[in-house]
Amino acid sequence: MRGDYLNWPRLVEDALSKWGSVSVEGPFENIVVSGMGGSGIVGDVVKLLALERLSVPVEVVKSHIVPSYVSTRTLFVSVSYSGNTHETLLATARALEKGARVVAVTSGGLLERLAVERGLPVFKTPAGLLPRVSFPHMLTGVLGVLDSSGLTVASRAEVEEAKRQLEREAGEIAGEASSLAEFAYSRELLVVATHSPLEPLAVRAKSEFNENSKIVVKVDVAPEWMHNDIVGYEKPLFDEYRVVAFYDPDDQAGRGLVEFMVGEHERRGRRVRVLALRGANKVGKVLYAAMLFGLASVELALKRGLDPAATESIARYKSAAGRIFGTGPLKP
């Protein structure tokens, strides 16, 4: 899987070649991005990027349930790499019942079939990848759809610069990832710490270590951390943990918050690794962090003698999802 992550610049380039090919006519009162797992993180990042740029709210749905306010004035972006994600298909069907304007982002499956049958716009992603590896293509695709629909959260020029950054720094990022995997290779709980609004990147890191490395990870986000979690570290029943903390160097308050967190952990004798995000813009910082944690999680899996691609327990859940949701098994 190392090669899949290092291939990200080409995935971004392919998605950029389709920039503007899919658009939806507004106006819109809100945006809802639906997706699970490796597809769901796309919505989290879109919400992060939209925070200071859009005047309409962005909601992320990681469930089969959609918000009650979804209406004909909603742009509903349905993201499912496989196209067969139970929760996303159910949420999409409910959004259509409410009259939402739906865009599908998928490599195929039932979501593509639904889109074709209903005449919905589709942004196609390349087949044959793991959903978590296809992240930069799906993200670039959604950013292009939003930009072309008059809802710009990142420009094409910003994405192009982020791609060039990955091309320039891929080797260096791989080296950093190897060092990070060595740090994380421990029987101690791994804690990923950051500051708002970077929580999606911490969640992405957690998910990569979950799926690729097969370990449990805790996420701490400041300043909320200072109002609850911090006390839990005072006299825990279990205190064998180490911390990977990262911050945006262009966010002075964010850096200060992370420095405070690091100080609290170090005064308790815990090992801490601190990272500063790199990138000329927010898209670049997002892709830098995602590639770094993705590669590190693969390296950690290999150190443990595990297959980073295998996700046996997820497969068990998917086989049970039809019974749980009362839909029966999916039939692509």
pLDDT mean across residues, the chain? 96
Per-residue model confidence as pLDDT tens digits over 284-297: 999 999 999 999 99
User: In which band, very low, low, confident or very high, does the pLDDT at 327 lie, cut at 50, 70 and 90?
Assistant: confident
- β-partners of residue 79 are 105
User: In which band, very low, low, confident or very high, does the pLDDT at 325 lie, cut at 50, 70 and 90?
Assistant: very high
What is the β-pairing status of strands 58-61 and 30-34? parallel
Per-residue model confidence as pLDDT tens digits over 17-45: 999 999 999 999 999 999 999 999 999 99
Q: How far apart are CA 244 and CA 241, in angstroms?
A: 10
Q: How far apart are CA 257 and CA 55, in angstroms?
A: 27
- β-partners of residue 194 are 221
Q: How far apart are CA 82 and CA 124, in angstroms?
A: 11
Give the number of other Cβ atoms within 10 Å of residue 164's Cβ: 14
Share of the chain above pLDDT 90, in %: 97
Q: How far apart are CA 172 and CA 174, in angstroms?
A: 5
pLDDT score for 290: 98
Per-residue model confidence as pLDDT tens digits over 104-120: 999 999 999 999 999 99
> Which sequence positions are flagged as catalytic?
211, 227, 318
Q: How far apart are CA 264 and CA 41, in angstroms?
A: 29
Q: How far is CA 311 from CA 136, 202, 211, 212, in A?
A: 21, 20, 6, 8
- Averaged over 46-73, what is the pLDDT? 97
Please provide the distance, in angstroms rounded to a whole number, between the alpha carbons at the two ends of the chain: 27
pLDDT score for 62: 97
The single-letter code of the amino acid at 191 is V
Q: How far is CA 332 from CA 15, 84, 112, 192, 320, in A?
A: 25, 7, 10, 37, 16
pLDDT of 63 over the 60 cut: yes
Q: How far is CA 320 from CA 6, 43, 225, 316, 329, in A?
A: 34, 25, 35, 6, 8
User: In which band, very low, low, confident or very high, does the pLDDT at 328 lie, cut at 50, 70 and 90?
Assistant: confident
The residue among 131, 278, 148, 136 whose CA lies nearest residue 207 is 131
pLDDT score for 102: 98
Q: How far apart are CA 159 and CA 143, in angstroms?
A: 9
Q: How far apart are CA 190 and CA 204, in angstroms?
A: 14
Per-residue model confidence as pLDDT tens digits over 204-224: 999 999 999 999 999 999 999
pLDDT score for 331: 62
DSSP 308: T
Alpha helix ranges (H) inside the chain = 2-6, 8-16, 37-50, 86-97, 109-118, 135-148, 156-184, 199-208, 229-232, 252-266, 282-303, 312-325
pLDDT of 59 over the 60 cut: yes
Q: How far apart are CA 20 and CA 188, in angstroms?
A: 47
The torsion angles phi and psi of 78, rounded to 5 degrees, stand at -100, 110
Per-residue model confidence as pLDDT tens digits over 83-110: 999 999 999 999 999 999 999 999 999 9
pLDDT of 199 over the 60 cut: yes
Sign of CA dihedral 196, 197, 200, 201: negative
pLDDT score for 332: 54
3-state secondary structure of 189: strand
Identify whether the C-beta of residue 22 lies closer than 8 Å to the C-beta of residue 50.
no
pLDDT of 329 over the 90 cut: no
The residue among 242, 226, 232 whose CA lies nearest residue 300 is 242
Per-residue model confidence as pLDDT tens digits over 121-148: 999 999 999 999 999 999 999 999 999 9
User: In which band, very low, low, confident or very high, does the pLDDT at 237 lie, cut at 50, 70 and 90?
Assistant: very high
pTM exceeds 0.85, yes or no: yes
pLDDT of 326 over the 90 cut: no
